[in-house]
Protein backbone atom coordinates (compact mmCIF):
# COMPACT_ATOMS: atom_id res chain seq x y z
CA UNK A 1 0.00 0.00 0.00
CA UNK A 2 2.86 2.36 0.62
CA UNK A 3 3.70 2.34 -3.10
CA UNK A 4 0.18 3.41 -4.09
CA UNK A 5 0.02 6.32 -1.67
CA UNK A 6 0.65 9.77 -3.12
CA UNK A 7 3.58 11.38 -1.36
CA UNK A 8 4.83 14.94 -1.45
CA UNK A 9 7.29 14.28 -4.28
CA UNK A 10 4.73 12.50 -6.44
CA UNK A 11 2.14 15.22 -6.00
CA UNK A 12 4.76 17.73 -7.02
CA UNK A 13 5.77 15.79 -10.13
CA UNK A 14 2.21 15.23 -11.25
CA UNK A 15 0.68 18.66 -10.72
CA UNK A 16 3.49 21.20 -10.50
CA UNK A 17 4.41 23.27 -13.55
CA UNK A 18 6.52 26.32 -14.06
CA UNK A 19 4.86 29.70 -13.68
CA UNK A 20 5.27 31.10 -17.15
CA UNK A 21 3.47 34.37 -16.41
CA UNK A 22 6.65 36.32 -17.08
CA UNK A 23 6.93 34.90 -20.59
CA UNK A 24 3.24 34.79 -21.36
CA UNK A 25 3.09 38.46 -22.39
CA UNK A 26 6.34 38.52 -24.34
CA UNK A 27 4.51 38.08 -27.65
CA UNK A 28 6.77 38.95 -30.58
CA UNK A 29 9.74 39.28 -28.24
CA UNK A 30 9.51 35.60 -27.33
CA UNK A 31 9.28 34.68 -31.03
CA UNK A 32 12.33 36.78 -31.86
CA UNK A 33 14.20 35.23 -28.93
CA UNK A 34 13.40 31.70 -30.10
CA UNK A 35 14.33 32.48 -33.70
CA UNK A 36 17.58 34.04 -32.56
CA UNK A 37 18.38 30.95 -30.52
CA UNK A 38 17.70 28.67 -33.50
CA UNK A 39 19.78 30.85 -35.83
CA UNK A 40 22.68 30.93 -33.37
CA UNK A 41 22.48 27.18 -32.90
CA UNK A 42 22.64 26.54 -36.66
CA UNK A 43 24.90 29.50 -37.46
CA UNK A 44 27.55 27.39 -39.16
CA UNK A 45 25.01 25.66 -41.41
CA UNK A 46 23.43 28.98 -42.38
CA UNK A 47 26.85 30.51 -43.00
CA UNK A 48 27.85 27.57 -45.17
CA UNK A 49 24.63 27.84 -47.22
CA UNK A 50 25.11 31.59 -47.65
CA UNK A 51 28.72 31.20 -48.77
CA UNK A 52 27.69 28.42 -51.16
CA UNK A 53 24.98 30.65 -52.63
CA UNK A 54 27.40 33.57 -53.03
CA UNK A 55 30.00 31.34 -54.65
CA UNK A 56 27.60 29.70 -57.10
CA UNK A 57 25.97 33.00 -58.02
CA UNK A 58 29.35 34.69 -58.43
CA UNK A 59 30.61 31.95 -60.73
CA UNK A 60 27.37 32.10 -62.71
CA UNK A 61 27.58 35.89 -63.07
CA UNK A 62 31.23 35.64 -64.11
CA UNK A 63 30.37 33.05 -66.79
CA UNK A 64 27.72 35.23 -68.44
CA UNK A 65 28.80 37.30 -71.48
CA UNK A 66 29.08 41.07 -71.06
CA UNK A 67 26.24 42.95 -72.75
CA UNK A 68 26.09 46.57 -73.93
CA UNK A 69 23.02 48.77 -74.25
CA UNK A 70 22.37 51.95 -76.25
CA UNK A 71 19.21 54.03 -76.21
CA UNK A 72 17.87 56.55 -78.70
CA UNK A 73 14.94 58.81 -77.82
CA UNK A 74 12.48 60.77 -79.90
CA UNK A 75 9.60 63.09 -79.07
CA UNK A 76 6.28 62.79 -80.84
CA UNK A 77 4.91 66.09 -82.13
CA UNK A 78 1.46 67.15 -83.38
CA UNK A 79 0.91 65.76 -86.86
CA UNK A 80 1.03 68.15 -89.82
CA UNK A 81 -0.90 67.61 -93.03
CA UNK A 82 1.18 67.91 -96.19
CA UNK A 83 -0.80 70.36 -98.41
CA UNK A 84 0.80 71.28 -101.74
CA UNK A 85 1.77 74.93 -102.06
CA UNK A 86 2.15 75.40 -98.28
CA UNK A 87 5.14 74.93 -96.03
CA UNK A 88 3.08 73.40 -93.25
CA UNK A 89 -0.47 72.32 -92.75
CA UNK A 90 -2.74 72.75 -89.74
CA UNK A 91 -1.69 70.84 -86.62
CA UNK A 92 -3.66 67.77 -85.63
CA UNK A 93 -4.25 66.82 -82.03
CA UNK A 94 -1.72 64.61 -80.24
CA UNK A 95 -3.15 62.22 -77.65
CA UNK A 96 -2.06 59.14 -75.72
CA UNK A 97 -3.80 56.79 -78.15
CA UNK A 98 -1.59 58.03 -80.93
CA UNK A 99 1.46 57.52 -78.73
CA UNK A 100 0.48 53.91 -78.22
CA UNK A 101 -0.09 53.51 -81.94
CA UNK A 102 3.36 54.89 -82.75
CA UNK A 103 4.87 52.36 -80.33
CA UNK A 104 3.29 49.55 -82.32
CA UNK A 105 4.54 51.07 -85.58
CA UNK A 106 8.12 51.29 -84.34
CA UNK A 107 8.08 47.69 -83.03
CA UNK A 108 6.29 46.34 -86.12
CA UNK A 109 7.89 43.64 -88.22
CA UNK A 110 7.87 45.90 -91.30
CA UNK A 111 10.04 48.58 -89.73
CA UNK A 112 12.30 46.13 -87.91
CA UNK A 113 12.87 44.13 -91.08
CA UNK A 114 13.95 47.30 -92.90
CA UNK A 115 16.49 48.03 -90.16
CA UNK A 116 17.57 44.40 -90.07
CA UNK A 117 18.18 44.27 -93.82
CA UNK A 118 19.77 47.72 -94.03
CA UNK A 119 22.44 46.89 -91.44
CA UNK A 120 23.04 43.40 -92.82
CA UNK A 121 22.48 41.67 -89.50
CA UNK A 122 21.31 38.39 -91.02
CA UNK A 123 24.90 37.13 -90.94
CA UNK A 124 25.65 38.28 -87.39
CA UNK A 125 27.02 35.38 -85.25
CA UNK A 126 25.30 36.80 -82.20
CA UNK A 127 21.86 36.56 -83.83
CA UNK A 128 22.35 33.21 -85.55
CA UNK A 129 21.01 29.90 -84.21
CA UNK A 130 22.52 29.27 -80.80
CA UNK A 131 23.28 25.80 -79.41
CA UNK A 132 21.02 24.83 -76.53
CA UNK A 133 22.34 25.36 -73.03
CA UNK A 134 23.29 22.45 -70.80
CA UNK A 135 20.12 22.86 -68.74
CA UNK A 136 18.01 23.14 -71.89
CA UNK A 137 19.58 19.97 -73.30
CA UNK A 138 18.89 18.08 -70.08
CA UNK A 139 15.26 19.25 -69.98
CA UNK A 140 14.72 18.38 -73.64
CA UNK A 141 16.24 14.92 -73.16
CA UNK A 142 14.00 14.35 -70.16
CA UNK A 143 10.91 15.44 -72.09
CA UNK A 144 11.81 13.17 -74.97
CA UNK A 145 12.38 10.26 -72.62
CA UNK A 146 8.96 10.85 -71.05
CA UNK A 147 7.33 11.26 -74.46
CA UNK A 148 6.29 14.85 -73.71
CA UNK A 149 8.25 16.41 -76.59
CA UNK A 150 9.68 15.16 -79.86
CA UNK A 151 12.83 16.33 -81.62
CA UNK A 152 12.26 19.40 -83.79
CA UNK A 153 13.65 19.40 -87.29
CA UNK A 154 15.64 22.41 -88.45
CA UNK A 155 13.30 25.17 -89.55
CA UNK A 156 10.21 23.44 -88.13
CA UNK A 157 7.93 25.66 -86.09
CA UNK A 158 9.44 29.00 -87.24
CA UNK A 159 6.74 31.61 -87.41
CA UNK A 160 6.14 33.77 -90.41
CA UNK A 161 7.46 31.26 -92.96
CA UNK A 162 5.57 29.77 -95.86
CA UNK A 163 6.23 26.05 -96.05
CA UNK A 164 3.73 25.38 -98.83
CA UNK A 165 6.52 25.16 -101.44
CA UNK A 166 8.52 22.66 -99.43
CA UNK A 167 11.01 22.77 -96.58
CA UNK A 168 12.87 26.09 -96.21
CA UNK A 169 16.47 26.41 -97.22
CA UNK A 170 19.29 26.60 -94.72
CA UNK A 171 19.84 30.29 -95.49
CA UNK A 172 16.18 31.08 -94.90
CA UNK A 173 16.20 29.20 -91.61
CA UNK A 174 19.26 31.13 -90.45
CA UNK A 175 17.74 34.45 -91.52
CA UNK A 176 14.48 33.72 -89.71
CA UNK A 177 16.33 32.72 -86.54
CA UNK A 178 18.52 35.82 -86.74
CA UNK A 179 15.51 38.13 -87.23
CA UNK A 180 13.70 36.48 -84.30
CA UNK A 181 16.72 37.05 -82.03
CA UNK A 182 17.05 40.61 -83.34
CA UNK A 183 13.50 41.39 -82.20
CA UNK A 184 14.26 40.02 -78.73
CA UNK A 185 17.30 42.31 -78.36
CA UNK A 186 15.40 45.48 -79.32
CA UNK A 187 12.86 47.07 -77.00
CA UNK A 188 10.59 50.09 -77.49
CA UNK A 189 8.81 51.83 -74.62
CA UNK A 190 7.24 55.09 -73.59
CA UNK A 191 8.74 57.11 -70.78
CA UNK A 192 5.91 57.16 -68.28
CA UNK A 193 2.81 58.88 -69.68
CA UNK A 194 4.81 61.31 -71.80
CA UNK A 195 5.23 61.46 -75.58
CA UNK A 196 8.89 60.48 -75.36
CA UNK A 197 9.74 57.09 -76.86
CA UNK A 198 12.92 55.18 -76.05
CA UNK A 199 14.38 52.68 -78.51
CA UNK A 200 16.91 50.42 -76.81
CA UNK A 201 19.12 47.68 -78.23
CA UNK A 202 21.27 45.16 -76.36
CA UNK A 203 24.28 43.34 -77.80
CA UNK A 204 27.51 41.69 -76.75
CA UNK A 205 29.34 43.81 -79.36
CA UNK A 206 29.77 47.40 -78.06
CA UNK A 207 29.78 48.80 -81.64
CA UNK A 208 26.34 47.46 -82.64
CA UNK A 209 23.78 48.85 -80.09
CA UNK A 210 24.16 52.52 -81.09
CA UNK A 211 23.93 51.72 -84.83
CA UNK A 212 20.77 49.66 -84.41
CA UNK A 213 19.03 52.18 -82.13
CA UNK A 214 19.85 55.10 -84.45
CA UNK A 215 18.83 53.07 -87.50
CA UNK A 216 15.46 52.29 -85.90
CA UNK A 217 14.86 56.01 -85.30
CA UNK A 218 15.89 56.84 -88.86
CA UNK A 219 13.66 54.09 -90.21
CA UNK A 220 10.68 55.45 -88.30
CA UNK A 221 11.33 58.95 -89.66
CA UNK A 222 11.74 57.58 -93.19
CA UNK A 223 8.40 55.81 -92.99
CA UNK A 224 6.61 58.91 -91.72
CA UNK A 225 8.10 61.20 -94.39
CA UNK A 226 7.61 58.61 -97.17
CA UNK A 227 3.93 58.41 -96.34
CA UNK A 228 3.57 62.17 -96.73
CA UNK A 229 5.60 62.13 -99.94
CA UNK A 230 3.33 59.50 -101.42
CA UNK A 231 0.28 61.50 -100.36
CA UNK A 232 1.60 64.65 -102.05
CA UNK A 233 2.70 62.75 -105.15
CA UNK A 234 -0.79 61.29 -105.53
CA UNK A 235 -2.29 64.75 -105.93
CA UNK A 236 -2.34 66.09 -109.48
CA UNK A 237 -1.63 69.61 -108.32
CA UNK A 238 1.53 68.63 -106.40
CA UNK A 239 4.30 71.17 -106.60
CA UNK A 240 7.76 70.03 -107.51
CA UNK A 241 9.34 72.00 -104.68
CA UNK A 242 7.30 70.27 -102.05
CA UNK A 243 8.10 66.89 -103.56
CA UNK A 244 11.78 67.71 -103.64
CA UNK A 245 11.74 68.67 -99.93
CA UNK A 246 9.98 65.50 -98.92
CA UNK A 247 12.19 63.40 -101.18
CA UNK A 248 15.33 64.88 -99.63
CA UNK A 249 14.06 63.98 -96.16
CA UNK A 250 13.27 60.43 -97.30
CA UNK A 251 16.69 59.99 -98.89
CA UNK A 252 18.45 61.34 -95.80
CA UNK A 253 16.48 59.01 -93.51
CA UNK A 254 17.09 55.99 -95.77
CA UNK A 255 20.81 56.66 -95.98
CA UNK A 256 20.99 57.17 -92.21
CA UNK A 257 19.17 53.91 -91.60
CA UNK A 258 21.63 52.00 -93.81
CA UNK A 259 24.62 53.55 -92.00
CA UNK A 260 23.07 53.10 -88.57
CA UNK A 261 23.04 56.84 -87.90
CA UNK A 262 20.58 59.69 -87.63
CA UNK A 263 19.51 61.87 -90.60
CA UNK A 264 21.98 64.64 -91.40
CA UNK A 265 19.23 67.12 -92.31
CA UNK A 266 16.15 68.31 -90.51
CA UNK A 267 13.00 66.24 -90.94
CA UNK A 268 10.13 68.57 -89.99
CA UNK A 269 7.57 66.38 -91.74
CA UNK A 270 8.30 63.29 -89.64
CA UNK A 271 5.83 64.35 -86.90
CA UNK A 272 8.60 63.43 -84.44
CA UNK A 273 11.69 65.21 -83.22
CA UNK A 274 14.88 63.39 -82.28
CA UNK A 275 15.89 64.43 -78.79
CA UNK A 276 18.60 61.89 -78.06
CA UNK A 277 20.95 59.93 -80.25
CA UNK A 278 22.17 56.48 -79.28
CA UNK A 279 25.85 56.59 -78.30
CA UNK A 280 28.28 53.66 -78.26
CA UNK A 281 28.35 52.22 -74.72
CA UNK A 282 31.61 52.65 -72.83
CA UNK A 283 31.02 49.97 -70.18
CA UNK A 284 28.93 46.79 -70.16
CA UNK A 285 25.47 47.14 -68.67
CA UNK A 286 25.11 43.47 -67.90
CA UNK A 287 25.25 41.02 -66.35
CA UNK A 288 24.92 42.79 -63.01
CA UNK A 289 27.42 40.63 -61.19
CA UNK A 290 27.13 42.20 -57.73
CA UNK A 291 23.33 42.02 -57.79
CA UNK A 292 23.36 38.39 -58.97
CA UNK A 293 25.93 37.47 -56.31
CA UNK A 294 23.95 39.14 -53.53
CA UNK A 295 20.78 37.48 -54.77
CA UNK A 296 22.58 34.13 -54.73
CA UNK A 297 23.67 34.74 -51.14
CA UNK A 298 20.11 35.61 -50.12
CA UNK A 299 18.77 32.54 -51.88
CA UNK A 300 21.42 30.39 -50.18
CA UNK A 301 20.48 31.82 -46.79
CA UNK A 302 16.79 31.24 -47.49
CA UNK A 303 17.47 27.69 -48.69
CA UNK A 304 19.48 26.91 -45.57
CA UNK A 305 16.80 28.44 -43.34
CA UNK A 306 14.10 26.43 -45.12
CA UNK A 307 16.01 23.18 -44.71
CA UNK A 308 16.59 23.89 -41.02
CA UNK A 309 12.92 24.81 -40.55
CA UNK A 310 11.74 21.64 -42.32
CA UNK A 311 14.12 19.47 -40.31
CA UNK A 312 13.06 21.26 -37.13
CA UNK A 313 9.38 20.63 -37.88
CA UNK A 314 9.95 17.02 -38.95
CA UNK A 315 12.32 15.84 -36.22
CA UNK A 316 12.77 18.22 -33.30
CA UNK A 317 15.80 17.09 -31.36
CA UNK A 318 16.72 18.36 -27.92
CA UNK A 319 19.58 20.81 -28.34
CA UNK A 320 19.34 23.03 -25.27
CA UNK A 321 18.40 23.01 -21.60
CA UNK A 322 15.74 25.68 -22.13
CA UNK A 323 14.03 23.65 -24.84
CA UNK A 324 13.93 20.51 -22.69
CA UNK A 325 12.63 22.48 -19.71
CA UNK A 326 9.92 24.13 -21.80
CA UNK A 327 8.76 20.89 -23.42
CA UNK A 328 8.90 18.75 -20.30
CA UNK A 329 7.41 21.30 -17.91
CA UNK A 330 9.83 20.23 -15.17
CA UNK A 331 13.31 21.54 -14.38
CA UNK A 332 16.45 20.25 -16.05
CA UNK A 333 18.85 19.38 -13.24
CA UNK A 334 22.04 19.08 -15.24
CA UNK A 335 23.89 19.20 -18.55
CA UNK A 336 26.51 16.45 -18.51
CA UNK A 337 29.50 16.78 -20.92
CA UNK A 338 30.20 13.88 -23.20
CA UNK A 339 32.57 11.15 -22.09
CA UNK A 340 33.39 7.76 -23.58
CA UNK A 341 31.91 4.83 -21.71
CA UNK A 342 35.29 3.11 -21.44
CA UNK A 343 36.65 6.16 -19.59
CA UNK A 344 33.84 6.62 -17.07
CA UNK A 345 35.69 4.74 -14.38
CA UNK A 346 38.57 7.21 -14.69
CA UNK A 347 36.57 10.30 -15.67
CA UNK A 348 37.10 11.88 -12.26
CA UNK A 349 40.83 11.87 -12.88
CA UNK A 350 40.69 13.19 -16.46
CA UNK A 351 37.81 15.63 -16.95
CA UNK A 352 37.22 18.43 -14.52
CA UNK A 353 34.09 19.73 -16.27
CA UNK A 354 32.57 16.28 -16.17
CA UNK A 355 33.23 15.94 -12.44
CA UNK A 356 31.74 19.36 -11.69
CA UNK A 357 28.60 18.60 -13.69
CA UNK A 358 28.09 15.29 -11.82
CA UNK A 359 28.62 17.08 -8.52
CA UNK A 360 26.03 19.73 -9.47
CA UNK A 361 23.60 16.97 -10.42
CA UNK A 362 24.09 15.26 -7.07
CA UNK A 363 23.46 18.55 -5.28
CA UNK A 364 20.28 19.18 -7.28
CA UNK A 365 19.02 15.71 -6.41
CA UNK A 366 19.77 16.25 -2.73
CA UNK A 367 17.85 19.52 -2.75
CA UNK A 368 14.88 17.85 -4.44
CA UNK A 369 14.96 14.96 -1.98
CA UNK A 370 15.48 17.02 1.18
CA UNK A 371 12.00 16.14 2.46
CA UNK A 372 12.65 12.42 1.87
CA UNK A 373 16.12 12.21 3.43
CA UNK A 374 16.04 10.14 6.65
CA UNK A 375 18.40 7.72 8.32
CA UNK A 376 17.67 5.33 5.51
CA UNK A 377 18.89 5.92 1.99
CA UNK A 378 16.80 6.97 -0.96
CA UNK A 379 16.19 5.19 -4.25
CA UNK A 380 17.15 7.26 -7.32
CA UNK A 381 16.16 5.98 -10.78
CA UNK A 382 17.58 7.21 -14.09
CA UNK A 383 15.90 6.25 -17.36
CA UNK A 384 16.26 7.14 -21.03
CA UNK A 385 14.04 6.64 -24.04
CA UNK A 386 16.21 4.48 -26.29
CA UNK A 387 19.27 2.27 -25.95
CA UNK A 388 22.19 4.43 -24.82
CA UNK A 389 25.15 3.68 -22.62
CA UNK A 390 25.22 7.31 -21.56
CA UNK A 391 22.58 6.51 -18.94
CA UNK A 392 24.70 3.69 -17.52
CA UNK A 393 27.79 5.89 -17.62
CA UNK A 394 25.92 8.61 -15.75
CA UNK A 395 24.75 6.14 -13.08
CA UNK A 396 28.30 4.83 -12.56
CA UNK A 397 29.72 8.34 -12.24
CA UNK A 398 26.98 9.47 -9.87
CA UNK A 399 27.45 6.36 -7.73
CA UNK A 400 31.21 6.95 -7.54
CA UNK A 401 30.69 10.55 -6.47
CA UNK A 402 28.20 9.55 -3.75
CA UNK A 403 30.57 6.80 -2.62
CA UNK A 404 33.40 9.32 -2.46
CA UNK A 405 31.36 11.27 0.09
CA UNK A 406 31.61 8.33 2.54
CA UNK A 407 28.10 7.16 1.80
CA UNK A 408 27.29 3.56 0.95
CA UNK A 409 25.82 3.09 -2.54
CA UNK A 410 24.14 0.14 -4.23
CA UNK A 411 23.86 0.27 -8.00
CA UNK A 412 21.37 -1.85 -9.96
CA UNK A 413 22.62 -1.57 -13.50
CA UNK A 414 22.06 -2.88 -17.01
CA UNK A 415 23.59 -6.30 -17.64
CA UNK A 416 25.45 -5.25 -20.78
CA UNK A 417 27.70 -2.96 -18.76
CA UNK A 418 29.56 -5.94 -17.35
CA UNK A 419 30.08 -7.42 -20.78
CA UNK A 420 32.05 -4.32 -21.79
CA UNK A 421 33.74 -3.25 -18.53
CA UNK A 422 33.77 -6.08 -16.03
CA UNK A 423 33.97 -5.56 -12.28
CA UNK A 424 36.46 -5.97 -9.45
CA UNK A 425 36.11 -9.21 -7.48
CA UNK A 426 33.14 -10.33 -9.56
CA UNK A 427 31.26 -13.03 -7.68
CA UNK A 428 30.49 -16.30 -9.44
CA UNK A 429 26.84 -16.98 -10.14
CA UNK A 430 25.87 -13.37 -9.64
CA UNK A 431 22.17 -13.01 -8.89
CA UNK A 432 20.28 -10.34 -10.83
CA UNK A 433 17.20 -8.34 -9.88
CA UNK A 434 15.20 -10.40 -12.35
CA UNK A 435 16.32 -13.58 -10.54
CA UNK A 436 15.37 -12.00 -7.23
CA UNK A 437 11.77 -11.57 -8.38
CA UNK A 438 11.61 -15.34 -8.96
CA UNK A 439 13.51 -16.59 -5.85
CA UNK A 440 12.77 -16.64 -2.15
CA UNK A 441 16.21 -15.46 -1.02
CA UNK A 442 16.35 -12.76 1.59
CA UNK A 443 17.80 -9.43 0.54
CA UNK A 444 20.94 -9.82 2.62
CA UNK A 445 21.66 -13.24 1.06
CA UNK A 446 22.05 -11.88 -2.48
CA UNK A 447 25.57 -11.54 -3.83
CA UNK A 448 26.73 -8.09 -4.95
CA UNK A 449 29.75 -7.11 -6.99
CA UNK A 450 32.28 -4.50 -5.98
CA UNK A 451 32.94 -2.01 -8.76
CA UNK A 452 35.49 0.57 -7.51
CA UNK A 453 33.85 0.62 -4.07
CA UNK A 454 30.26 0.60 -5.37
CA UNK A 455 28.10 -2.45 -4.71
CA UNK A 456 26.54 -3.42 -8.02
CA UNK A 457 24.11 -6.02 -9.29
CA UNK A 458 22.61 -6.38 -12.79
CA UNK A 459 18.92 -5.82 -13.37
CA UNK A 460 18.52 -8.30 -16.20
CA UNK A 461 19.38 -11.95 -15.75
CA UNK A 462 21.85 -13.84 -17.91
CA UNK A 463 19.10 -16.35 -18.63
CA UNK A 464 16.39 -15.53 -21.13
CA UNK A 465 13.79 -17.52 -19.17
CA UNK A 466 14.27 -15.45 -16.01
CA UNK A 467 13.93 -12.21 -17.94
CA UNK A 468 10.76 -13.52 -19.56
CA UNK A 469 9.02 -14.42 -16.30
CA UNK A 470 10.49 -11.62 -14.15
CA UNK A 471 7.93 -9.39 -12.41
CA UNK A 472 9.56 -6.22 -11.15
CA UNK A 473 6.38 -5.22 -9.32
CA UNK A 474 6.66 -8.35 -7.12
CA UNK A 475 7.06 -7.76 -3.34
CA UNK A 476 10.37 -9.64 -3.47
CA UNK A 477 11.84 -6.81 -5.57
CA UNK A 478 10.53 -4.26 -3.08
CA UNK A 479 12.08 -6.21 -0.20
CA UNK A 480 15.45 -6.38 -1.96
CA UNK A 481 15.42 -2.63 -2.62
CA UNK A 482 14.43 -1.96 1.00
CA UNK A 483 17.33 -4.12 2.19
CA UNK A 484 19.70 -2.17 -0.04
CA UNK A 485 18.16 1.11 1.15
CA UNK A 486 18.90 0.20 4.76
CA UNK A 487 22.59 0.26 3.91
CA UNK A 488 22.58 3.55 2.00
CA UNK A 489 21.45 5.14 -1.23
CA UNK A 490 20.28 3.05 -4.18
CA UNK A 491 20.71 3.91 -7.86
CA UNK A 492 18.58 2.25 -10.54
CA UNK A 493 19.93 2.24 -14.10
CA UNK A 494 16.60 1.48 -15.75
CA UNK A 495 16.22 -0.15 -19.16
CA UNK A 496 15.13 2.16 -22.01
CA UNK A 497 11.43 2.98 -22.17
CA UNK A 498 11.32 2.33 -25.89
CA UNK A 499 12.00 -1.42 -25.62
CA UNK A 500 9.92 -2.62 -22.66
CA UNK A 501 7.80 -1.63 -19.70
CA UNK A 502 10.26 -2.99 -17.13
CA UNK A 503 11.51 0.56 -16.62
CA UNK A 504 8.01 1.71 -15.62
CA UNK A 505 7.66 -1.20 -13.17
CA UNK A 506 10.99 -0.43 -11.52
CA UNK A 507 10.36 3.34 -11.53
CA UNK A 508 7.43 2.85 -9.16
CA UNK A 509 9.87 1.64 -6.47
CA UNK A 510 12.06 4.75 -6.69
CA UNK A 511 11.73 7.77 -4.44
CA UNK A 512 12.75 10.06 -7.31
CA UNK A 513 13.03 9.50 -11.07
CA UNK A 514 15.17 11.43 -13.54
CA UNK A 515 14.64 11.26 -17.30
CA UNK A 516 17.90 11.34 -19.27
CA UNK A 517 17.87 12.89 -22.77
CA UNK A 518 20.81 12.68 -25.18
CA UNK A 519 21.87 15.97 -26.72
CA UNK A 520 21.07 16.09 -30.43
CA UNK A 521 19.48 12.61 -30.48
CA UNK A 522 16.43 12.52 -28.23
CA UNK A 523 13.45 14.21 -29.88
CA UNK A 524 10.73 16.31 -28.32
CA UNK A 525 8.17 13.65 -29.17
CA UNK A 526 10.18 11.00 -27.34
CA UNK A 527 10.47 13.25 -24.29
CA UNK A 528 6.72 13.88 -24.17
CA UNK A 529 5.94 10.19 -24.66
CA UNK A 530 8.39 9.14 -21.94
CA UNK A 531 7.12 11.68 -19.40
CA UNK A 532 3.53 10.73 -20.14
CA UNK A 533 4.26 7.05 -19.50
CA UNK A 534 6.14 7.78 -16.29
CA UNK A 535 3.38 9.98 -14.91
CA UNK A 536 0.75 7.42 -15.91
CA UNK A 537 2.71 4.79 -13.96
CA UNK A 538 2.66 7.19 -10.95
CA UNK A 539 6.45 7.49 -10.97
CA UNK A 540 7.85 10.32 -8.85
CA UNK A 541 9.46 12.35 -11.65
CA UNK A 542 11.32 15.40 -10.37
CA UNK A 543 13.50 16.50 -13.29
CA UNK A 544 15.46 15.78 -16.43
CA UNK A 545 19.13 15.52 -17.40
CA UNK A 546 20.86 16.13 -20.72
CA UNK A 547 23.91 14.09 -21.64
CA UNK A 548 26.06 15.04 -24.59
CA UNK A 549 27.33 12.51 -27.08
CA UNK A 550 30.99 11.78 -26.57
CA UNK A 551 33.31 13.04 -29.31
Query: 67: exposed, middle or buried (C-beta count within 10 Å: 0-12, 13-18, 19+)?
Result: middle
Alpha-carbon span 265 to 143, nearest angstrom: 56
pLDDT at position 348 over 70: no
Q: Specify the higher pLDDT residue, 248 or 350.
A: 248
Instruction: Specify the range with the lowest mean pLDDT, choosing from 120-134, 147-161, 253-267.
Output: 147-161
DSSP helix/strand/coil, 546: strand
Looking at the structure, do residues 364 and 435 belong to the same domain, yes or no?
Answer: yes
Tell me what percent of the residues of the chain surpass a pLDDT of 70: 71
- Answer yes or no: is 391 within a domain: yes
Which 3-state string (H, E, C) describes 357-391?
Answer: HHHHHHHHHHHHCCCCCCCCCCEEEEEECCCCHHH
Looking at the structure, do residues 93 and 214 belong to the same domain, yes or no?
Answer: yes
DSSP state of 127: T
Report residue 369's pLDDT band, with 50, 70 and 90 as the boundaries: confident
Alpha-carbon span 165 to 121, nearest angstrom: 26
Looking at the structure, do residues 376 and 297 belong to the same domain, yes or no?
Answer: no
Query: What was the pLDDT predicted at 515?
Result: 92
Q: Specify the higher pLDDT residue, 465 or 529.
A: 529
Looking at the structure, do residues 198 and 302 belong to the same domain, yes or no?
Answer: no
Q: Specify the higher pLDDT residue, 295 or 341.
A: 295
pLDDT at position 314 over 50: yes
Alpha-carbon span 347 to 340, nearest angstrom: 9
- Mean of the pLDDT values across residues 267-284? 65
Looking at the structure, do residues 69 and 56 belong to the same domain, yes or no?
Answer: no
- Mean of the pLDDT values across residues 419-428? 47
- Answer yes or no: is 6 within a domain: no
- Mean of the pLDDT values across residues 173-193? 84
Q: Specify the higher pLDDT residue, 224 or 268.
A: 224
pLDDT at position 143 over 80: no
pLDDT at position 212 over 80: yes
User: What phi-psi label fits residue 403: left (phi over 0), alpha (psi between -120 and 50 degrees) or beta?
Assistant: alpha
Query: What was the pLDDT predicted at 276?
Result: 58
- Answer yes or no: is 7 within a domain: no
Looking at the structure, do residues 58 and 74 belong to the same domain, yes or no?
Answer: no
Residue numbers of the domain that contains 90: 65-139+169-276
Looking at the structure, do residues 49 and 79 belong to the same domain, yes or no?
Answer: no
pLDDT mean across residues, the chain: 75
Looking at the structure, do residues 206 and 294 belong to the same domain, yes or no?
Answer: no
- Mean of the pLDDT values across residues 119-139? 72
Query: What was the pLDDT predicted at 519?
Result: 85
Looking at the structure, do residues 355 and 458 belong to the same domain, yes or no?
Answer: yes
CATH of the domain at 504: 3.40.50.300
- Answer yes or no: is 145 within a domain: no
- Answer yes or no: is 28 within a domain: no
Query: What was the pLDDT predicted at 167?
Result: 66
- Mean of the pLDDT values across residues 238-259? 73
pLDDT at position 475 over 60: yes
- Answer yes or no: is 186 within a domain: yes
Instruction: Specify the range with the lowest mean pLDDT, choosing from 201-205, 236-240, 271-275.
Output: 236-240
Domain count, the chain: 3
Instruction: Specify the range with the lowest mean pLDDT, choosing from 189-198, 258-267, 376-385.
Output: 258-267
Q: Which helix (H) or strand (E) holds 542?
A: strand 541-547
Q: Specify the higher pLDDT residue, 161 or 167.
A: 167
Looking at the structure, do residues 351 and 264 belong to the same domain, yes or no?
Answer: no
- Answer yes or no: is 5 within a domain: no
- Answer yes or no: is 401 within a domain: yes
Looking at the structure, do residues 300 and 200 belong to the same domain, yes or no?
Answer: no
- Mean of the pLDDT values across residues 265-280? 65
Looking at the structure, do residues 229 and 130 belong to the same domain, yes or no?
Answer: yes
pLDDT at position 456 over 60: yes
pLDDT at position 134 over 70: no
Amino acid sequence: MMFNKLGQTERTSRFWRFDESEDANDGPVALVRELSAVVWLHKYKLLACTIAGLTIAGLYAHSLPRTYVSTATLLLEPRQTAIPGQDAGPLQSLDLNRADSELQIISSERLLSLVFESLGLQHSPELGPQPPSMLGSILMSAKQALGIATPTAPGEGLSGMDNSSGPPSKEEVQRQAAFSNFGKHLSVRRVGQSYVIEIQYTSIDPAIPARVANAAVSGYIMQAVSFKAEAVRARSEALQGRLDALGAQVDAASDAMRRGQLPTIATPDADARIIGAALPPLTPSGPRGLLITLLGGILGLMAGSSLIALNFARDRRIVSVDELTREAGIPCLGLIPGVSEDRVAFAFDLQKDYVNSIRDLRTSIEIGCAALRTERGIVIALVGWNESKQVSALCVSLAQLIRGGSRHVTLFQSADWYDDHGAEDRAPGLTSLADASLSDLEGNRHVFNNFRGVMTVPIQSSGATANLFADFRHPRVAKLLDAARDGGDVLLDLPPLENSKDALALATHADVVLFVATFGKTTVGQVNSALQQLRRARAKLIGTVITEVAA
